[in-house]
Structure 1
Amino acid sequence: MNLTDKTTENIEYMITQITTKLKMVNAEAIKAANYTEEMYDDLRDIYEMVMKKNTFSPNEMQAIVEELGNIRK
């Protein structure tokens, strides 16, 4: 997938991958519809960081979710 394009489909893909990798029970709390192309670069940074790691501490997971909350519309 080419994530250089700021598209709704890429936003949906990244959100899905992040929630899957973090094994979020309540993935519905983070919906792709809550993110716009304006915040695409920030979302992509979070996505790339999450994809690089294999495990996350509870504090890291909380910080990621908080940051996702900060950048949503």
Structure 2
Amino acid sequence: MVSNKWQISDELWEKMAPLIPEHRTQHSLGAQRKRVDNRAAMNAIFFVLRTGCQWNALNATGICSSSSAHRRFQEWR
């Protein structure tokens, strides 16, 4: 598990959250897995950007899966 120093603070998250676009499901029946929390995905993205680690290394941190974080990174950029 990663220490709290790598986590986004509550104050920063309050400023960032309104800037994230709302997700709309593309599945016709809406039947899909529950999405990873936006804050967890952003913590994972920032972890990769700060440390320079590979995306697949996220799986060992417990923040978020590497595939979810990378997919969200591509979606938000």
Q: TM-score, normalised by structure 1?
A: 0.32
The structure having more radius of gyration, on CA atoms, is 2
Q: Greater share of helix residues, 1 or 2?
A: 1
TM value normalised by structure 2: 0.31
